[in-house]
Amino acid sequence: MKYSTRTGSLSELTTPCLIVGLEQARTVAAEQGQSALFDAAVQDFSDKAGRVLVVNLTRESGIKRLLVAGGTDGEVTPADYRKIVDAAARALKPLKIDSALWALAGTRVAARDLYWRYSAGLSALAGALYQFDQHKTGNDKELTLRAVQVHADARGRSWAQRAVREANALQAGLDFARDLGHQPPNVCNPTYLLREARKLGRLNKVKVSALDERRMKELGMGAFLAVTQGSATPGRMIVVEYRGAKAGDAPVVLVGKGITFDTGGISLKPAINMDEMKFDMCGAAAVLGTVRAAAEAKLPLNVVAVVAAAENMPSGGATRPGDIVRSLSGKTVEILNTDAEGRLVLCDALTYVERFKPRVVVDVATLTGAMIVALGAHASGLFSKDDELAEALLAAGEWSGDRAWRMPLWDDYQDLLKSNFADVPNIGGAGAGSIVAACFLSRFTGSYRWAHLDVAGSAFQGGAGKAATGRPVGLLFRYLIQATR
């Protein structure tokens, strides 16, 4: 999908589909000589946020269809505007057209400027128009939408152009992340993740490297290796560096959990829905997608993505509950549950990133099922003791619509992490599972500013609508944009 801007009077432009509000659609139809047809079509239309209607015009019209979005006339709330653009974007997908013209940014939204309105609409399109069919066969694929033009007048053209540049970059990053998430686990293993990450090295100012298991053993990454030792596919620590600023500028470091399939190891998961554990690498996919978006947008800052890629498999060589390993930090970890493996690969990654002298570190992980219980699918869980960093991430999520909710990271919860035999166990008691997991990670982040995003509920959907969402690429990309100002 490619986005661009277009100016001119709507009634004089040609397009297979014009996406517009009711009153503006009525005006365009009249100027096209289509008033009677249009009035009959919208007679029973409910002009409310979230309602849409496609009106096919006659062959003589330069505009072949009007996709009418309800609720755009008068001032609306930001939440209603998102409802409007989301509904319009979803309605656009099944139409058998190759391009469309988007004209909803003129809607008045309380406390939101024109740039935000353009960006919110483009974000809705990026979310709705994605499809993944790499493993489907057949030659009967329907015509798919390939380009959307954003209508802008002289006053808003510069804002539209900026929003379009960022939207094209975000689309590239989201698609990269979602494509990785959708690959089956017999395709997407740590070796595949590294191969796909190396493709980012083709972008300007991007460098890709990796640590193999031999090098990780030399460094002392015993926690990471405890997870991967049960798999026939070796683990990898993947490093992607985007250098958009001066070499000496401290980078924003993003760390992603890349468990390409999580059986639970010896602490085996139930069989039901285990296929969804291919999504346990969505944190890794998100940080790689964010770096791609930053590079595509040519953001003037340095960004490093570190991916801890491994499979968690049961075998004769797998880690057992009760094993004790030494992490890269020197701390020993008692592994009480091999299904709490994400924090093991992440703790070594979080120690490793100290060498980059980071500006901040944000790790992203589908870490705990308890996060789904707490927040469902609507928000990612945000943990940090750094109020400034937390507020910046929350603001980025609110602006982009890829929202997060701050969870407590109080020292009181650290008492739940006690081991009789090692410095720290990898699980606590029965309660506060997401918080205890974040507390575990916090013990390896003392030398820099840090935040943790638990995206177990937001990074993918289960059930009949099973899919990777690409979140929190939108939040992280917006945070990086804000960090350049």
Catalytic residues: 269, 343
The one-letter amino acid code at 208 reads V
The one-letter amino acid code at 353 reads V
* CB 45, CB 66: distance < 8 Å: no
Residue 282 tokens read as: 């969505």
Provide the 10 A C-beta neighbour count for residue 60.
8
Provide the 10 A C-beta neighbour count for residue 122.
26
Residues linked to residue 311 through DSSP beta bridges, in sequence order: 261
- Only one residue has tokens 């602490």, namely 267
**DSSP track, 133-193:** -TT---S-PPP---EEEEE--TTTHHHHHHHHHHHHHHHHHHHHHHHHHHS-TTT-SHHHH
**Environment class of residue 196 by beta-carbon count within 10 Å: exposed (0-12), middle (13-18) or buried (19+)?**
middle
Nearest C-alpha neighbor of 71 from the set 91, 95, 45: 45
Residues linked to residue 233 through DSSP beta bridges, in sequence order: none
Residues linked to residue 252 through DSSP beta bridges, in sequence order: 303, 360
Nearest C-alpha neighbor of 236 from the set 193, 183, 292, 187: 193
* CB 432, CB 412: distance < 8 Å: no
Alpha-carbon torsion (261, 170, 93, 118), positive or negative: positive
CA atoms within 13 A of residue 330's CA, in its CB half-sphere: 0
Long-range interactions of 460-467: CB distance < 8 A, separation 24+: 460/181, 460/276, 460/279, 460/282, 460/366, 461/377, 462/273, 462/276, 466/276, 467/132, 467/178, 467/181, 467/182
- Only one residue has tokens 């009035």, namely 39
CA 145 to chain centre: 22
Backbone φ, ψ for residue 56 (5° rounding) = -85, 125
